[in-house]
Structure 1
Amino acid sequence: MYETIVVPTDGSSQSDAAVDHAVELARHHGSEIHVVYVADSNRDSLTTQGGEVVDALEQEGEQVVSEAVDRADAGTDISGDVLTGDPVETILDYAHSVGSGLIVMGTAGRRGLDRFLLGSTTERVVRLSSVPVLTVRAQEE
């Protein structure tokens, strides 16, 4: 049913819950998982380290994706990519390019006025995606 699952991550507990859920789905459906971190090109993230200009968001993305891929069980077909761009557009374009049948994303579970005033990436992906989007809420501690 879901041959390819895309899981955007930002390293948060909500994203970790989404990765864990995607791994369970992949195990049951024999799916491949693509974990993706989007370095938001709308934010200034260049810095200098050891005389070399680097993108701090891309560096963070490499670590976040590596940790997410490591969360998967052995035998799970999982890969990771760090991309740059507008998060919503980049996630949707990436999902289309890999032929994704499902996007699995974490949600902060905002309530009340915050939900209407603060448009989240997850909410925008849900509204604009041409494939199903499964939202996963992290367990409250």
Structure 2
Amino acid sequence: MKRRPYRKILLATDGSENAKSAACSGIEIAKRTGSEVYVVYVAGISCCSPIMPESYDWEVGKEGSEAVAEIEEMGKEAAVPVNVVLLQGHPAQEILDFAEKNDIDMIVMGTQGTAGIDRFLLGGVTEKVVRHAKAEVLVVRAPCP
């Protein structure tokens, strides 16, 4: 059975160094295959407070914009157009839903995301995506060359 080339690649980011390394690898794959790239940042929902101050929304939006801007720049340097997607919800589920609704062929992620309390609240996002994705998932550990 002949394998079809990747048409759409999702780069999941949380702004961490691991996510940037994964995005670098994903952009290289997209450049070689001519794939369309979507960089997805999901602002997680806090389990601790149903009511968040307005400043929290602003800060999350700022973090997401900064995270995707770095990857957009990587894409420009590689001459690979990048579509930016900012979502809010449970990161693993939002990534899975977006991938399915948009016929994503490959999801590229880092091995771990943010540190500290955010990582605890978000849980094993990569593991959940690997277990439940219908698309192929590439998990990147090493820094991009």
Q: Shared fold by TM > 0.5? A: yes
**Alignment deviations for residues 47-73 of structure 1 (CA, whole Å, 9 cap, x no partner):** 445xxx844212211111111111222
- Greater share of residues in helix: 2
Contact 2:12 2:109 in 1 (8 A): yes
Mapping of 1:44-123 within 5 angstroms?
Answer: 46-48=52-54, 54-72=57-75, 73-108=77-112, 120-123=124-127
Tell whether the 8 Å contact from 2:31 to 2:78 is kept in structure 1 after alignment. no
* Greater per-residue strand proportion: 1
Deviations along 1:67-107, whole A, 9 cap, x unmatched?
Answer: 11112225212111110011111000111122100000000
Q: How many residues align?
A: 128
Q: Which secondary structure state, in structure 2, belongs to the residue aligned with residue 75 of structure 1? A: coil
TM-score by length of 1: 0.81
Choose the corresponding residue for 2:26, options 4, 22, 25. Answer: 22
**Between the two proteins, what is the percent identity of the paired residues?**
36
Unmatched 5+ residue regions in structure 1? 109-117
TM-score where L is the length of structure 2? 0.79
In the other structure, the counterpart of 1:35 is 39
- Can you give the 5+ residue segments of structure 2 that lack an aligned partner in the other structure? 113-121
Q: What does residue 136 of structure 1 align with?
A: 140
What's the CA shift for 1:35?
Answer: 0.3
Are 1:5 and 1:33, in contact at CA under 8 Å, matched by a contact in 2? yes
- Alignment correspondent of 2:118: none
Q: Do 2:7 and 2:34's aligned partners in 1 also have CA atoms closer than 8 Å? A: yes
Over aligned residue pairs, what C-alpha RMSD do you find?
2.3
> Could you tell me which residue of structure 2 aligns to residue 115 of structure 1?
none
1:12 maps to which residue? 16
| Structure 2 match to 1:125 | 129
